[in-house]
């Protein structure tokens, strides 16, 4: 059986040690191990190692290296269990080693999908104003199960959702001053759906907002839209011009009475 003849610390990494063996053909470098593996297997000069010992040492060192990679990956932000598994797979870590690493990280409380989901919801709700539907889909993508997601979303109650929805709605209205009241409402609804808010929250948010413009504001918005349409249809015959203008402005959500008034004037 090969015998350990020498153990030296690596120059660039004090936590790793080079193991030299002699299997009857002279001393040679065999492998390197982490300090924890060195101590766990009691590696020292003169110790004999059989084939099973070498396999176990190699597996133990692979596990330690993968664990260190996972800890480093966690150093940037919290991660879900799936994210860590995917990361280690990209690093070509064996599946059995990955399972052991995850087991150890759970044991040390380094990973917890519920804690991760709660933190994710809070961060993306308070910094980006995302709605619960978008957060649910994003957490699904990170490997979080439905029950855990629902528990994490408890903190994001309906009152908080309505508050965030109104903030988005106000911004949307300000960006779309020169559109009809009808189109303004549509744009708000589209924005809130895209942000991930349910219809129940959107309905309440719209009730709390004054989306109906005063007639002078609606008239100004119509003129703005009509100027765009007039430039588009300026080469049409008078009758065609009038019909296309009417269709265009009606599609933009303006009342037919205002449209007729504009065309008459």
Q: What is the CATH number of the domain that holds 246?
A: 1.10.10
* CB neighbour burial string for 71-94, b if at least 16 within 10 angstroms, e if fewer: eeebeeebbbbebbbebbeeeebe
With respect to residue 52, please indicate whether it lies within any of the assigned structural domains: no
With respect to residue 14, please indicate whether it lies within any of the assigned structural domains: no
With respect to residue 184, please indicate whether it lies within any of the assigned structural domains: yes
Element (H, E) at 27: strand 27-34
Closest alpha carbon to 125 in 153, 92, 87, 95: 153
Q: 69 burial class (0-12, 13-18, 19+ CB within 10 angstroms)?
A: middle
Q: Give me the residues paired with residue 9 across strands.
A: 17
Q: Quick one: 150 and 163 in the same domain?
A: no
With respect to residue 238, please indicate whether it lies within any of the assigned structural domains: yes
Question: Can you read off the two tokens belonging to residue 47?
Answer: 């110790």
- Name the residue range of residue 188's domain: 158-208
Q: Quick one: 124 and 137 in the same domain?
A: yes
Q: Quick one: 151 and 165 in the same domain?
A: no
Q: 202 burial class (0-12, 13-18, 19+ CB within 10 angstroms)?
A: buried
- pLDDT score recorded for residue 225: 77
pTM comes to 0.71
Question: Quick one: average pLDDT of 155-174?
Answer: 90
d(CA 88, CA 60): 16
If pLDDT is split at 50, 70 and 90, which confidence band does 171 have?
confident
* DSSP count for the chain of H helices, then E strands: 13, 3
Which residues are within 8 A (CB) of 150 and not within 5 positions of it... i.e. 6 or more apart? none
If pLDDT is split at 50, 70 and 90, which confidence band does 214 have?
low
pLDDT of 135 higher than 80? yes
- pLDDT score recorded for residue 192: 95
Rounded to the nearest 10 degrees, the angle between the axes of helix 95-107 and helix 81-90 is: 140
Q: Quick one: 137 and 170 in the same domain?
A: no
Question: Quick one: average pLDDT of 87-108?
Answer: 94
User: Per the structure, how many domains does the chain have?
Assistant: 3
With respect to residue 204, please indicate whether it lies within any of the assigned structural domains: yes
With respect to residue 87, please indicate whether it lies within any of the assigned structural domains: no
């Amino acid at each position: 059986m090969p015998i350990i003849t020498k153990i030296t610390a690596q120059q660039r990494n004090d936590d790793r040690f080079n193991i030299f063996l002699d299997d009857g053909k002279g001393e040679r470098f065999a492998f390197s191990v982490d300090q924890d593996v060195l101590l766990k297997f009691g590696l020292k000069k003169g110790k004999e190692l059989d084939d099973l010992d070498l396999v176990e040492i190699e597996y133990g060192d692979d596990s330690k290296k993968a664990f260190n990679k996972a800890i480093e990956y966690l150093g940037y932000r919290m991660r879900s269990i799936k994210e860590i598994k995917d990361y280690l797979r990209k690093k070509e870590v064996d599946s059995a080693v990955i399972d052991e690493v995850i087991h150890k990280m759970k044991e040390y409380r380094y990973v917890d999908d519920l804690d991760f989901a709660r933190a994710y919801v809070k961060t993306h709700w308070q910094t980006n104003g995302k709605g619960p539907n978008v957060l649910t889909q994003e957490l699904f993508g990170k490997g979080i199960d439905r029950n855990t997601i629902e528990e994490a979303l408890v903190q994001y109650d309906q009152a908080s959702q309505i508050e965030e929805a109104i903030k988005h709605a106000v911004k949307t209205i300000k960006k779309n001053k020169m559109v009809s009241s009808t189109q303004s409402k549509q744009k708000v609804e589209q924005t809130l759906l895209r942000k991930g808010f349910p219809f129940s929250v959107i309905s309440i948010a719209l009730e709390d907002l004054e989306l109906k413009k005063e007639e002078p504001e609606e008239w100004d918005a119509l003129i703005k839209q009509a100027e765009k349409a007039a430039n588009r249809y300026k080469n049409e015959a008078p009758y065609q011009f009038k019909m296309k203008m009417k269709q265009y402005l009606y599609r933009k959500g303006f009342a037919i009475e205002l449209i007729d008034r504009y065309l008459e004037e």
